[in-house]
Amino acid sequence: MDNTDYDTDTFEDNPEDSPVIKELRAELRKKEKALNELTNKLDKVETAEQTRRAEAAEKIMNTLNLPGLQEDVLQWVEGPITEKAVAEALKVRSINVPEDFDPDAEQPVDDEPSAPSASQVGQQLAAAAGGADKRDLEQKMAEASSPQELEALMTEAGLIRSHS
């Protein structure tokens, strides 16, 4: 009778395992560690982006003397929180803005650079896939300026899997 439990999800090395299995398990542990590190970095980037958006919305809504709508504006505006985007969102909802408010100045409220466009991220990924980008994955991740760019790098590295 065989007492081997094949239903376990443990990837511990067994002295009876072949060298190939041991190597695959070592590679899996390495990739799981890298995935955990990237997930932590992604969480930090997303948190920083949410904080920047909230601060920008707070600043604009205080300027408009409508601080009670800050949370709503965060949901209404997709992308960078700019005076123009906020003014348009308010206009769509028939909320008047002060007459001296000039939303035509299309500058992000925060002093941080705006997130790269999808085409910029795509170009960077194409360059990386074509071998033009010689930076290592960790360096690219450290230089990622948006959650989308970080996620694209993780996908490119094969660190994101769909379990559906």
Nearest-angstrom CA–CA distance, 64 and 97: 7
Compute how many other C-beta atoms are within 10 angstroms of the C-beta atom of residue 161.
8
Nearest-angstrom CA–CA distance, 76 and 161: 31
Which residues of the chain fall short of a pLDDT of 50? 106-113
Residue 47 pLDDT: 92
Residue 91 pLDDT: 87
H-type helices in 12-82, by residue range?
19-63, 70-76
Burial of 112 (C-beta count, 10 Å sphere; 0-12/13-18/19+): middle
Residue 111 pLDDT: 44
pLDDT tens-digit map of 3-45: 555 555 555 667 788 889 989 999 999 999 999 999 999 999 9
